Structure 1
Amino acid sequence: MSKILRTNAGPILSAAVEYHGFVYLQGCTAQDLDKDVTGQTEEVLAQIDELLELHGTDKTRLLTAQIWLKHIGDRPAMNALWQAWLPEGLAPARACVEANMADDKHLVEIMVTACK
């Protein structure tokens, strides 16, 4: 049976799950909810970098991304950071939608899948 590696497993989710060379991240959100969408997006992208590195991969190996925004009007600001963060020519398949968030102060949540 193949091994499943769970990082920071809690009662309702794990920060990351690795299986057969694929790394599935949780929906990452900012810790400082007083920041605007730009600040929150910067925090989220840094979290993604850290979790991917912990699993021996990085943003050059992204396969998919799901992005939830509290206000779809924040898409241009978030996209500016997203595009600057992504290596050129290596964008994953992606969805970006407006959504009700678990906390009204959350402005962005990003979930990615990468391979090793």
Structure 2
Amino acid sequence: MIKRIETGTRMSKVVIHNDVAYLCGQVGSGTTVTEQTKDCLARVDALLEQVGSSREHMLQAIVWMSDMADVAEMNAVWDAWVPQGHAPARACEEAKLVSESLKVEVIVTAAIPS
């Protein structure tokens, strides 16, 4: 069974299949990489909580940066956010994001514990 949460014309915020939650890309508000990363990860937290999961159950994360020169700033926020011993498989790449004001986008896949 597939469950879709907050489905619109173009995408769903979360798709659940076989106790795995696939989150759509999350971006954050703010002007700095730090502000956007903190806000974006707070949005990830809220979606994970909504489906009965948490950052301790992340399986994979994909981080898109508008400029890899900012990766250390993003990683400072990321490293403080990920629970010790629960780091997901992760990729971090540079990409042209949907808006020039965006600096970070994060996509997370997480298990939903029974």
Partner residue in 2 for 1:12: 10
Question: How far has the Cα of 1:21 moved from its partner?
Answer: 0.3
Partner residue in 2 for 1:75: 71
Gaps of 5+ in 2: none
1:85 equivalenced with 2:84 (yes/no): no
Partner residue in 1 for 2:53: 57
Identity level (%): 39
Partner residue in 1 for 2:19: 21
Question: How far has the Cα of 1:5 moved from its partner?
Answer: 1.4
Amino acid at match of 1:91: A
CA distance, structure 2, for counterparts of residue 101 and residue 49 of structure 1: 22
CA distance, structure 1, for counterparts of residue 42 and residue 14 of structure 2: 15
CA distance, structure 2, for counterparts of residue 6 and residue 60 of structure 1: 22
TM-score, normalization by structure 2: 0.95
Runs (4 or more) in structure 1 with deviation over 3 Å come to none
Q: Secondary structure at the match of 2:26?
A: coil
CA distance, structure 2, for counterparts of residue 84 and residue 18 of structure 1: 27
CA distance, structure 2, for counterparts of residue 35 and residue 75 of structure 1: 15
Question: How far has the Cα of 1:99 moved from its partner?
Answer: 0.6
TM-score, normalization by structure 1: 0.94
CA distance, structure 1, for counterparts of residue 39 and residue 6 of structure 2: 18
Q: Secondary structure at the match of 2:27?
A: coil
> For the aligned residues, what is the CA RMSD?
0.8
Match 1:105 to one of 96, 101, 110: 101
CA distance, structure 1, for counterparts of residue 75 and residue 5 of structure 2: 28
